Chains A and B, each alone.
Chain A
Amino acid sequence: MIQLTKVNKVYEVADGDFYGTSGSGKSTLMHIIGLLDRPTSGKVIISGQDTAKLSDAEISTLRGNYIGFVFQQFNLIQRLTTLENVLLPTQYSKERLDFATLDYARELLAKFGISEKAGSYPNKLSGGQQQRVAIARALVMKPDIVLADEPTGNLDTATGEEILKLLGKLNRELGVTVVVVTHDQYVAKKTDRQIFVRDGTIVKKY
């Protein structure tokens, strides 16, 4: 369970360096939830722990264990095969995992219909396939939350649709909370619950 209390982020803005001109703080909100960024004030509490008091190593471990990221640009590592990309988070796990990671990774690839691509490198995959690999990577540590930042932004409408269906299915079948950040009304309407962010503040919740 993740709680945010009075989270506020103040930016030091240099000339020509305007964060959030294209956005309104939604990506920042996601980065703060995902522990990639720290709030200027306020608290991020994960499983009752105030993350402000944790060391870099502890935060990194929490990030690995509780949160999975899906990015607009897929962000796969080009030198690694599909399977190696999916398994990468398990390599950084500081605790011994109580499940067979290789089997689970293969199971995820099978579930997403990309089993035969296990040995391929990302540049041999289509955008949709790459995003599936990225989702498998986000899931391999069995996280509580998957944070997806514009997951359909680099995909055509049909493929984007499939990815959104897949994320919805994960939420229902695996019980993972999926947070999708988007500017696209159409994408937003596919979710159970929407939060509007404008000029850095939450203006509306559905």
Chain B
Amino acid sequence: MNYFIFLIRTALKDFGRSKVRTGLTSLGILIGVFSVVMLISLGIGLRNYITRQFEDLGTNLIIILPGSGFSQGFGAGLAGGAEFDERDTNALRKIGALEYVVPVFMKASDVVAGKEEEFAYVMGTSDDFFSLYNLENEAGEFFTRGDMQGRSKKVVLGKSLAEKLFGTYENAVGRDIRVQNQKYEVIGVSENVGDEQLDNAVLMPYRTTFGSLNPGKTFFAIYVGVADEDGVTEAKELVEKEFLKRYEEDDFEVSEQEELLATINQIIGVVNAVLIAIGSISLVVGGIGIMNIMYANVTERTKEIGIKRAIGATKRDILLQFLTESVLLSLLGGVVGLVLAAIVVLLVQPYFPLGLDALAVVLALGISSGIGIFFGVFPARRAANLTPIEAIRYE
């Protein structure tokens, strides 16, 4: 233990002698550890962000999409496959285990209010949509089952869109908007949830879209809420069975929320791993910097090594002394890099859920000491293998 303290104290004394050199050498590792930790926390942040978006929907949700859905990439679900209609929703409503059946029609379109014209997402859906998304109304009210039946021309705007069209969202209620030359009355404004499409949506009863907006009377997707969370897999099978009566297997995709989340997380994981691998290059460069300086140190201190050998230091003593120095250099960079990364994470957290986990900390410290050992061992061995007599004669 005493010996260990002696090694560290000796190393720190040597650093004190050349502070600038020590700082610059550690800087390489600092940058490497900082970038790797930031990339890890960015990965965690993306995952948190997406999980949070999904959690708003609840985990008891089943999504039915045309085509082969998400499992073959994001694009696949949006092109080709079946077009759903009311026959499908009616059939689903007969399945007892399902709490909500919410069809969603979606079309991007310009929306006009007075002289303002804005790009928006027109969504035709049912009144259950609001409970499914746990949406709160900021002003006015949401449309009801009665509005659904009556095909009333009442719409609910996302808060961002309402502010763009009317200045403030409170102004929007009771006013008219035009979509493709049809007039609709704004009856409510829904809260912003951080989703680009929902925050800029014109939500209307799905039957109201039937006509010029949606001549085929089709739906882009059907969301199904299951009453009992444990019954999700069972309900999914029932839904699949029902749809197979009408469609080919490849024409639709029934996904659980959990599956979607898992797929997306997998993709993020792969992208993140690649980014971290690229970031690690700077760690290697930093390690080479340490090796370079340690070789210079050995040469510079050859005489000192000789003196120490003369007064009883073994090869191992010399090896450990130089190794301690390179590990401390590297660890110093690692710790400072980690602290800086933690500060950045804390600063950014109010805006984006960046995260740090124990793995990132252990990895940062483990990798930096590993680099210190790996790149330090060659110079240290050169120091240890100097013959005492030649070392002491060195000027």
Inter-chain contact B311/A80, CB cutoff 8 Å: no
B residues within 8 A CB of A138? Answer: 311
The residues in B between 1 and 56 inclusive whose CB is less than 8 angstroms from any CB of A are 3, 6, 13-14, 16-17
How far does the Cβ of A64 sit from chain B's closest Cβ, in whole Å?
Answer: 2
**Is A164 part of the contact surface with B, judged by Cβ < 8 Å?**
no
**Is B83 part of the contact surface with A, judged by Cβ < 8 Å?**
no
Interface 9-mer from B133-141, B272-280, B302-310, B326-334: B302-310
**Is B312 part of the contact surface with A, judged by Cβ < 8 Å?**
yes
Inter-chain contact B388/A36, CB cutoff 8 Å: yes
**Is A61 part of the contact surface with B, judged by Cβ < 8 Å?**
yes
Measured CB to CB, the nearest residue on chain B to A65 is: B312
A75 and B305 CA atoms in complex are apart in Å by 11
**Is A197 part of the contact surface with B, judged by Cβ < 8 Å?**
no
Given contacts A69-B311, A141-B312, contact A92 B303 (CB under 8 A): no
Number of B residues near A (Cβ < 8 Å) is 22
**Is A79 part of the contact surface with B, judged by Cβ < 8 Å?**
yes
A residues within 8 A CB of B389? Answer: 31, 36-37
Residue from B16, B310, B316 with most neighbouring chain A CB atoms (10 Å): B310
How far does the Cβ of A32 sit from chain B's closest Cβ, in whole Å?
Answer: 10
B residues within 8 A CB of A80? Answer: 13
Binary B-proximity of A42-53 (CB < 8 A = 1, otherwise 0): 000000000000
**Is A56 part of the contact surface with B, judged by Cβ < 8 Å?**
yes
The residues in B between 293 and 321 inclusive whose CB is less than 8 angstroms from any CB of A are 303-304, 307-317
How far does the Cβ of A8 sit from chain B's closest Cβ, in whole Å?
Answer: 16
Tell me whether chain B's interface is mostly helix, strand or loop, or mixed.
helix
Inter-chain contact A60/B315, CB cutoff 8 Å: yes
A residues within 8 A CB of B316? Answer: 57
A residues within 8 A CB of B388? Answer: 36-37
A79 and B311 CA atoms in complex are apart in Å by 17
Query: A75's contact among B16, B17, B303, by CB below 8 Å, is which?
Result: B303
Measured CB to CB, the nearest residue on chain A to B314 is: A60
Inter-chain contact B317/A92, CB cutoff 8 Å: yes
How far does the Cβ of B225 sit from chain A's closest Cβ, in whole Å?
Answer: 72
A124 and B96 CA atoms in complex are apart in Å by 94
Inter-chain contact B310/A92, CB cutoff 8 Å: no
Measured CB to CB, the nearest residue on chain B to A64 is: B312
Given contacts A75-B392, A91-B6, contact A36 B310 (CB under 8 A): yes
Inter-chain contact B17/A63, CB cutoff 8 Å: no
Given contacts A36-B388, A36-B392, A88-B308, contact A60 B313 (CB under 8 A): yes
Binary A-proximity of B100-122 (CB < 8 A = 1, otherwise 0): 00000000000000000000000
How far does the Cβ of A93 sit from chain B's closest Cβ, in whole Å?
Answer: 7
**Is A137 part of the contact surface with B, judged by Cβ < 8 Å?**
yes
Inter-chain contact B315/A63, CB cutoff 8 Å: no
Query: B314's contact among A37, A77, A92, by CB below 8 Å, is which?
Result: A92
**Is A151 part of the contact surface with B, judged by Cβ < 8 Å?**
no
A residues within 8 A CB of B314? Answer: 56-57, 60-61, 92, 94
A75 and B391 CA atoms in complex are apart in Å by 12
Inter-chain contact B309/A60, CB cutoff 8 Å: yes
Given contacts A91-B3, A92-B317, contact A77 B304 (CB under 8 A): yes
Inter-chain contact B315/A92, CB cutoff 8 Å: no
Measured CB to CB, the nearest residue on chain A to B7 is: A91
Binary B-proximity of A175-206 (CB < 8 A = 1, otherwise 0): 00000000000000000000000000000000
5 further A-B contacts with Cβ under 8 Å, apart from A56-B315, A80-B13, are A36-B388, A37-B388, A88-B311, A89-B311, A138-B311
Q: Give the 3 A-B CB pairs with smallest separation, nearest first.
A: A64-B312, A60-B314, A89-B311
A-B contact pairs, 6 of them (CB 8 A): A57-B314, A57-B315, A71-B392, A89-B312, A91-B3, A141-B312
